[in-house]
Structure formats: structure tokens, C-alpha cells
Structure 1
């Protein structure tokens, strides 16, 4: 087989700087290792470029003849390319369901289903097990999230008239300030987590990226509403920041999702509904509604992930309980909800300073807290906790809502 060219490739006047290597490569792929290919052409630099290209690819090029009509060289097919791709493996399967349980770190940023050349640097990701991050609902939730994105500049009627009594406006500003603080925490947590996930689980990465983008929008609209009339923000309590700091320090993906999305953002669904129901102006009502539709999706992913995890990890409920108890113990000496926020919620629901109005507003906030508690219990039961244990754990949730 060697020593005699099996086929001839005539490049005409096409040079390597014009793409001739593609034709040479294609011709060699049809030959077995050790076979020869005659390459002819009119480009005066053909042999020089051909020899250099062959060295880089593991082939061997020998000058055969040269005259006024061009050159002809002989290329012996090497084994390097064959061996390299013979050792390659697929990064899972290309179809949507082709996800492996534990992707190889050396796949790095390779697309799922790609043929991965061996020898690449390992990816610096520690969440490399499917069951640690997955939810069967993730692909459809991402599709919904991508289609439900909205522009803060146009989705909110910022030109609507907002003419509130100064005390009511200050209450709205205080509530918006509290929301900004909490949404900033809700932005940082998924942003930190997605950087640790192997990109093989791309739907989870995409979903968390959109979740972070959602929270960035919420920070924007709550800030803009707070500054709409007064130009000043409200107060930020130490206890509130202490509570949020415990979310940022949780390294476990499932526990972080549980504390943030299932308990915290779940409670915020009730808070945003409360603000919508008692909003004294159309802008406040709109920002609460737009944020709530995003937060509902975040909660859905958190619940779906933990339901999936619960099927493969018999210790999950114990770990979730431990996370709640540990956070409660950490915050046991904190002051709880910022008093300014509580009072602002009372005034928002009251709408006036009369004794009957304040009584009504106070009762509404008490009802809000009861709704938050019932919502947490419902989600805990969905995760597998008995009703009595769900009630006990919900009662231990931070008084700061998130």
C-alpha cells in the first residue's frame, strides 16, 4: 500500500493561504493510515505550505517532482488524527434528554453531545452531579422564563399620576427599600451557584442566569419606585442584613435553593400580593405584579429541584430541617423584621391615620404573616414533611420574611 500513490489531488492554482488544506484533509480522510496521496498544484509555495501543514497534523510530505507546469508532492497518511479522535468521547448525547449523571470535568465548556478531543484542561466546577442540581421541570421553566422577559422601561407605566399623602409615600418608599435589599440577596445567590455548575446541565445554568436577570430587574423597578417622588430611600436595619447574610453563606446547592426560593421567595409571593392588594397608586401595583410573576417561577424551580433530590437522597429532609434550625439559631438574638418596614406595611393597608384605619392595617399585616406561614407549610408538605413538622419548621423561619 505504501510507496505508490493511491490517488491524485489536483489543487490547480489554489494555495494553502486560500484554503487548499481543506481539500487535502478531505482526500486524506478517505485513506487508511500509511497510504499515500499525490498532491499537484500550480502555487509556487505549495510544497512549503504542504510540508508545514503535514507536520502539524502528523502526516509526512515528500517532494516528488517540480517543473514549469507546477509541483507534485506525495503525502503519507499519518495516524495522529485517527488516534486522537479514536480516543475521543461524546459529551453525553446530542438530543435534549442526552444528559449523563456525572459529566467528565475534562469536557470543560464542550457543547453537550459534542465529540470531545481528549487532553483538555479540567473545568473548575464542583457541582458535577446531575442529581445535585437537576429538576425535571428545568427545561420547560427556562423556556417559559425566556419568553416572559419584560423591559422595566415599558412594562411599568412610570408616567401614571402618583399623588400620595407624604406619610403614605414614605411608607411605600420604606417598603420598596426593603424589597431592594432582599432582591439584591436573591440576585447574588443564583449568580454564585451558577458559576459552580458543570455546563453539561445547561438548562439549570440558563434558568439561574435568567433568575439573576429577573432579580436585577426587580432591584431596578423597586429602586425607581422608591425614588419616584421623594428622591430618597428608606432605612436598612442590622437585623435585616443579618438575616440575608445567612443566605449568602450557604454552600450547599439544595439547601441554598431551599432557604432562598422555597421559604424566602415563597413568603415574598404573599408579600407582593399584599402590596398589590393595598397599593395606593398604579405604579406600586404594577411593580409588585411584575415581580411576583417572576418570583413564582423561582419558587417553582426550588420546589421541583428538591422534589427530584428527595427521590434520590433519603437524607434530604433531615438536611433541610437542619438548615432551618441552624439559621434560626444564628438569628435567634436578632431583632427580626425592621420596625420601620412593619409600620409601613400597616400604614399601607390602613391608607389613613385614623384609629379604625390603623386597626384595620395592623390586622391585615397579621393576616399577611399567617398567609406566609400557611404557604411555607404547604410547600414543606409537598417536599415530604408531615404536617405537624412542617408547621414547626415554618414557625422557625426568619421574622425578616426572606
Structure 2
């Protein structure tokens, strides 16, 4: 290519600090490596700034050999792009770009972005897809985001009702218990979130919505407890010990299993029970909406354990050990607080008669049986033999969560 046919870009008086490099880059874009581009312009420091920019982006520069032509310098198109020459995409070639193992060196780069070398590595330890993934995560996040509800709008806080003192006290106690459980259910996914590599954003997004769900549940359970001006109920030491074992579990899969598959799975039965026996419209709507959210949490927990069990033959042994370890740690505790148990009986009794109290106790025992059966069926779905599923379900904490 002779100088007469070499393309020339005229920057006129546009300086590099004003964006002149954009015009140079555009002019170079379609040139093959080794081709030349003439750069004209009136900027006094143009040759120096052009040489600096070309060095950063992998292009060569030679001085102009004919000042009368108006060309200040010749740029030789490089084969790379300077500091970007070693750049790699934050992801794979598949349509979704998700790779089995993410690189902490990608930092917070969006999946699929071209990552410039250098920069700090992200301090996250959950970088393997199979440790946190479930194929339903993207779709579940979409439905979860669409199903968010506003407590001020969705719940009839101004509904007119007055309950007998004993019944209102029972509602307050159960709501106090639920709020305490939701504290743990909020903390567990929140702690896991910061450990997940952002390459697996669907799981991050889903857990973020789960945290938002639990924060909303914490709000509405507390608001219902305080709705009629009563103070909150009691918090048992055994209940707090049970929840502390959930928070202390560092393993992602084991935490998901204990919280979502077993704990929140049992909570689904409790919320259905409260929906059936709610003595007022606010309590009924609070528990009904919370149950819809919790069902998604359980669905992800089950799907994740199914996914990991397919790639980790030792998972079932670790799950069993986690249940047994938690059972042993709580063996000296009282389990479900007496105040909570009695409150559930009062709600289910319907009347203050021997017959009503007996009916309340029978319904609470049926609730506990339903919780046991629900856990057993989920464990069988996860691949445990029927007898082992029954044994592990029976070892679950008496505090329900």
C-alpha cells in the first residue's frame, strides 16, 4: 500500500483528552494487521499523545516523512490490543456462557464481558457451579420477582375484628415465634450470598429475593403480633439454640438442606395449619402470603440437592451426618417452646371446653405428623431409601425449623 492510498483520519483541533482516540480507533477497526493509517491534526501534542495511546493498545507509530502532507504520524495496525491482548471472556461459548468453574480473577465483571488482565481477585469461595446450582434457578427467580407483594396493600391491616383475650394472646405468641424463625431464614441466605461468584448470577438473584421475602415476613409477623397493642410473646432458649445451628452451618448444600428442605418444608405445614385455623382475616392473609413465598424456597432447596446428588456420590452421607450432628447438638434442649405449643392448641381448639382443648391437641399432633410425612417424602425424592428417610425425618429438630 503506497502512501497515496493509505487512509487518513483528520482530527482537526480535537485533542485526545476530548475523544480523538475514538476517531483513530474507528479508522483502524477494519484495517488488517500491519496496515497503516495516517493521522492528521493541529494539536500541538498530537504525536506524543498518539504514541502513548498506540502503545497502550498494541499499535505501532512512526513519524511523518512529509510534513507538507498534513499527516503528523503513521499508525501501524497491531495484531493485539495492548493491555487487552491477554483478555479473556468471563464465561464460555455456550449461549448462556455459564462455565463449570468461575475464575475469581474475573472479579465483578458481568458474565460474558471481556476482562482486562490485572485487578483484584474476588474473595469468594463458592466458585464451582455444581456446589450452588439448580436448573430451575433462572425460572424460579423470574417467578419470584413477579410474585413480590407489598404488605401495606396485600394485607387488610384495617379490618375490624376483636378476638377474645386468650385467642389474641395465642396469635401474638405464634407470630413472635414465626418472626424469630424468619430471622434465621433471612441470615442464612444472606451470609451465603457474598460467597457466591457473581458468574452464577441467577442463584445470587434468587437468594437475594429469598432474603427480601424473609425480611417481608419478619415485618408482617411482627406487625400482626403488635396490631392490637400487645407486647410480643416469649422466646425459648431451646428454639434459639435450634436456629443457631442453622446459622452456624458453613456448607452451602448442607445449609440449604437443613434450612429449606427440612426446616422451611416443615414451616409450609405450619403456615397451612395457621391458614386453616386463623381467627381473623389479617392472620389468615399473612400466613397465606408467606406460605407462597416459602414454597419457592423449598423448591430451590430440593432442586439444588437433586442437582448436586447427581454429581456427588458422597452427598447423601454428608446430609445424613448433618442431620445427626444437629440432632445430637440439640438433644439436651426442650424443643418447641411450651408457650408456642399451647398457643397452637388454643388456635386449633375453637372453644374453651374439654372437648375443644382435646380437639386442639389432636390437630396439633396431626400437624406434627404432617410435618414428619412431608420431610420423609422430600427425603425420598432426594434419593434416600424409605427407611432412612423415615429415620432422618424423625431426627429433625422438635422446634420445627
TM > 0.5 fold call: yes
Per the normalisation by structure 1, the TM-score is: 0.93
Q: Distance in 2 between matches of 1:88 and 1:5?
A: 33
Cα gap change, 1:151 to 1:65, in 2 (>3 Å): farther
Per-residue CA deviation, residues 62-83 of structure 1 (Å, 9 max, x unaligned), is 664999x996311433759535
What is the deviation of 1:36? 3.6
Deviation at 1:351, TM superposition (A): 2.9
**Structure 2 segments unaligned to the other structure (5+ residues):** none
Structure-1 residue corresponding to 2:219:
220
Secondary structure of 2:199 counterpart: coil
Does the 8 A contact of 1:62 with 1:73 survive in 2?
A: no
How many Å apart are 1:49 and its aligned residue? 4.3
- Provide the secondary structure at the position in 2 that maps to 1:311: helix
Give the C-alpha shift of residue 20 in structure 1. Answer: 1.8
CA distance, structure 1, for counterparts of residue 4 and residue 197 of structure 2: 50
Distance in 1, Cα, partners of 2:43 & 2:55: 19
Q: Which residue of 2 aligns with 1:50?
A: 50
CA distance 1:188–1:131, change in 2 (3 Å): same
2-side partners of 1:313 and 1:56: how far apart? 46
State the shift of 1:355 in Å: 1.5
Cα distance in 1 for residues equivalent to 2:122 and 2:222: 37
Decide whether aligned partners of structure 1 residues 149 and 66 sit closer, same or farther in structure 2, where only a CA change above 3 A counts.
farther
Q: In the alignment, which residue of structure 1 is the partner of 2:270?
A: 271
Given the alignment of the two structures, is residue 339 of structure 1 paired with residue 335 of structure 2, yes or no? no
Residue 258 of structure 2 corresponds to which residue in structure 1? 259
After superposition, residues 55-204 of structure 1 pair within 5 angstroms as: 55-57=55-57, 59=59, 64=64, 72-77=71-76, 79=78, 81-82=80-81, 84-93=83-92, 97-204=96-203
Displacement of 1:396 in angstroms is 0.5
Is residue 177–residue 223 contact of structure 1 (8 Å, CA) maintained in 2? yes
Quote the RMSD (CA, aligned, Å): 2.4
TM-score (norm 2): 0.93
Deviation at 1:276? 0.5
Report SS of the residue matched to 1:235: coil
Counterpart of 1:21 in structure 2 is 21
Tell whether 2:310 aligns with 1:308.
no
Give the secondary structure class of the aligned counterpart of 1:381.
helix
Moved more, 344-353 or 165-174: 344-353
1:250 maps to 249
Aligned to 1:6: 6
Change (3 A) 1:332 1:4: farther
Gaps of 5+ in 1: none
How many angstroms apart in 2 are the aligned matches of 1:71 and 1:388?
88
Secondary structure in 2 matching 1:73: strand
